[in-house]
Amino acid sequence: MFSKVLIANRGEIAVRIIRACRDMGLHSVAVHSTVDRNALHVKLADESVCVGGPAARASYLNIPNIISAAEITGAQAIHPGYGFLAENADFAEICQECDLTFVGPSARVIALMGDKAQAKVTARQAEVPLIEGSEGLLEDVDSARALAERIGFPVLLKAAGGGGGKGMRIVRQQGELESAFQMAQNEAKAAFNNGGLYMEQYLENARHIEMQILFDGEGNGLLFPERECSVQRRHQKLIEESPSPGVTPEGRKKLLEYAARIQRAVEYRNAGTIEFLLDRKGDFHFIEMNTRLQVEHGVSEMITGVDIVREQLAIAGGSRIAVEQRGLRVSGHAIEFRINAEDPENGFAPSPGVVHRVHLPAGPWVRVDTLVEPGTEVLPYYDSLIAKLIVWGENRAEAIRRARRALKELSIEGPKTTRSFHLEVLHNSRFLAGDYSTHFIQEEFGL
Domains and CATH numbers, the chain: 4-103 (3.40.50.20), 132-201 (3.30.1490.20), 207-445 (3.30.470.20)
Looking at the predicted structure, is the pLDDT value of residue 319 above 80? yes
Q: Given pLDDT bands bounded at 50, 70 and 90, which one contains residue 309?
A: very high
Q: Residue 46, Cβ neighbours under 10 Å: how many? A: 15
Express as a percent the part of the chain with pLDDT over 90: 92
Among 35-44, 180-189, 404-413, whose mean pLDDT is lowest? 180-189
Cβ neighbours, 10 Å, residue 359: 10
Per-residue pLDDT at 166? 82
Sheet harboring 27-33: ordered strands across? 47-52, 27-33, 4-7, 77-79, 101-102
Gap between the Cα atoms of 119 and 105, Å rounded: 15
Tell me, what's the pLDDT at 117?
84
Longest pairwise C-alpha distance within the chain: 59
The three-class DSSP label of residue 243 is coil
Q: Nearest to residue 378, comparing CAs of 117, 111, 39?
A: 39
Backbone phi and psi for residue 274, each to the nearest 5 degrees, phi listed first: -110, 125
Task: Look at residue 162 in the predicted model and tell me its pLDDT.
Answer: 72
**Residues 122-148 as b or e (16 or more Cβ within 10 Å = b):** bbeebebebbebbeebbeebeebeebb
Instruction: Tell me the mean pLDDT in the region 240-253.
Output: 98
- Residues 46 and 29: beta-carbon distance below 8 Å: yes
pLDDT at residue 135, rounded to an integer: 82
Average pLDDT, the chain: 96
How many residues are there in the chain?
A: 447
- Tens of pLDDT, residue by residue over 394-446, are 999 999 999 999 999 999 999 999 999 999 999 999 999 999 999 999 999 98
Q: Give the span between the Cα atoms of 414 and 420, in whole angstroms.
A: 14
CA R_g for the chain: 21
Say what the pLDDT of residue 165 is: 76
Q: How far apart are CA 124 and CA 257, in angstroms?
A: 14
The amino acid sitting at 427 is H
| Residues 67-120 pLDDT 10s | 999 999 999 999 999 999 999 999 999 999 999 999 999 999 999 998 888 999
Residue 370 has what pLDDT?
99
d(CA 430, CA 441): 11
On the question of pLDDT at 194 being above 90, the answer is no
- pLDDT given at position 317: 98
Q: Is it the case that residue 193 has pLDDT exceeding 90?
A: no
* 374-378: long-range contacts, CB 8 A cutoff, minimum separation 24: 375/38, 376/39, 376/40, 377/35, 377/38, 377/352, 377/353, 378/341, 378/351, 378/352, 378/353, 378/354, 378/414, 378/415
Mean pLDDT of the 247-256 span:
98
Name which of 1, 45, 187, 301 is nearest 9 in CA terms.
Answer: 45
Confidence category of residue 372, pLDDT binned at 50, 70, 90: very high
Neighbour-count burial of 235, counting CB atoms closer than 10 A to its CB (0-12 exposed, 13-18 middle, 19+ buried): middle
Alpha helices (runs of H) in 116-248, residue ranges in sequence order: 116-125, 141-151, 174-192
Per-residue pLDDT, averaged over 184-193, amounts to 86
Contact (Cβ atoms closer than 8 angstroms) between residue 351 and residue 386:
no
Looking at 196-205, 328-337, 346-355, 371-380, which range is the least confident one?
A: 196-205
The residues that are catalytic are 292
